[in-house]
Structure 1
Amino acid sequence: MYAIPLGEDGAELRPLEPWHAEEFLAHMERGREFIGQFIPFGATATDLASTRELLQKHADATATGTRAYHGIWLDGTLVGGVLALNFDAENGNGEVGCWLEPAAAGRGLVTRAMRHLIDWAVEERGIHRVEWIAASENTPSVNVARRLGFTKEGVLRESFPWRGKRHDMEIWSVLAPEWRGARSGHRER
């Protein structure tokens, strides 16, 4: 197992695996309402069995090379995560996403973790186009995409039905040459 330090504040990026089920469930219980505003995956992790099943599903997809699932730990407590999904290495396309419980918000944890994940996607997996898809109302997520240098490409109007409402979804992307060009600036921040 590995842990990537995310700065001087005790934050780390680590693989999130099925054996983390109890810790992940506790994390979901602390942040379920906040996380669930725009992200449905937490709604399925309601007890230990369903949480293990969710994490196993992600582990199986990771094993096929189409996904990567990482947790963000702050002072030894799981507080959020970043993931790569819908990876198509053959065509060089992939999507990234994130989540965070409210107590950890506003510290730059997702931005710092995402820099490592995108570096890995571009340099190790050969992904040319990295997409970020977020509800227009999910201001923190949209702000992370902007901070990371993604370009807003458009809005899928009312394309995501969630919790009795249809949400507009913004499509953002960064291309490998753009990412490499901005990388030195990212590491300095």
Structure 2
Amino acid sequence: MYAIPLGDAELGPLEPWHAEEFLANIDRGREFVGQHIGLADRVTDLVSSRAFLQSYADKAATDTGRIYGIREGGKLLGGVLFRTMDVEQGVAEAGCWLEPAAAGRGLVTRAVRVIIDWAIEDRGIHRVEWRVASANEASIAVARRLGMQRDGVLREYNFFHGERQDLEVWSVLAPEWRARQSGAE
């Protein structure tokens, strides 16, 4: 298995055979992760953990999504993913999760930077989106650090835990990303 260094951590694939490790990671951060995203509701036991990872293996096989784990000392702390990826249209939606003990260290920002580079440079993606609940300040901060622009707010778009929530759409375009990475902004 390959791993890409992220400073004191590393980024690598998550496969269906990682289901136990993935479930343990979600269990450690269930309340924290579940504040803003439905992952904690979807992955509740070994069967659902394996099914979730299998859905991303299927997406990888059809080039419509990817999932990667962030590990430190071999322990899974969270991950990043392309929830959707449409290579023909050149659009992908990135996302993340992280257990609370790993928050605030820049791991997600570094990991998302790696996958955006890959999507733009290797897969020809033109637009990478970041969709986030307006109340998820930490995730919005990641979008800002990545140089994304706020496209707008889908008011009361998402029905989550019995309440309607606003969903912000942030994005970066390939030319903007390349300029930012080369320091030519």
TM over 0.5: yes
Gaps of 5+ in 1: none
The 5 Å alignment of 1:154-165 reads 154-165=152-163
The 5 Å alignment of 1:99-178 reads 99-178=97-176
- The CA distance in 1 between the partners of 2:23 and 2:89, in whole Å, is 35
Note the C-alpha offset of 1:61.
Answer: 1.0
* Amino acid paired to 1:164: G
Gaps of 5+ in 2: none
RMSD: 0.9
Aligned to 2:36: 38
- The CA distance in 1 between the partners of 2:73 and 2:161, in whole Å, is 33
- The CA distance in 2 between the partners of 1:162 and 1:102, in whole Å, is 21
- The CA distance in 1 between the partners of 2:6 and 2:14, in whole Å, is 16
SS of 2:30 mapped into structure 1: helix
How much identity, in percent, do the aligned residues show? 63
- Give CA-to-partner distance per residue, 1:89-109, whole Å, 9 cap, x none: 111111111111100000000
- The CA distance in 2 between the partners of 1:101 and 1:5, in whole Å, is 19
Note the C-alpha offset of 1:155.
Answer: 0.3
Note the C-alpha offset of 1:85.
Answer: 2.3
TM-score by length of 1: 0.94
* Amino acid paired to 1:50: S
Aligned to 1:18: 16
The 5 Å alignment of 1:16-95 reads 16-95=14-93
- The CA distance in 2 between the partners of 1:160 and 1:67, in whole Å, is 21
Alpha-carbon contact 2:15-2:54 (below 8 Å) kept:
yes
- Give CA-to-partner distance per residue, 1:107-165, whole Å, 9 cap, x none: 00000001100000100110001111000100000000000000001000110010111
- The CA distance in 2 between the partners of 1:153 and 1:47, in whole Å, is 36
- The CA distance in 2 between the partners of 1:33 and 1:42, in whole Å, is 8
Note the C-alpha offset of 1:46.
Answer: 1.3
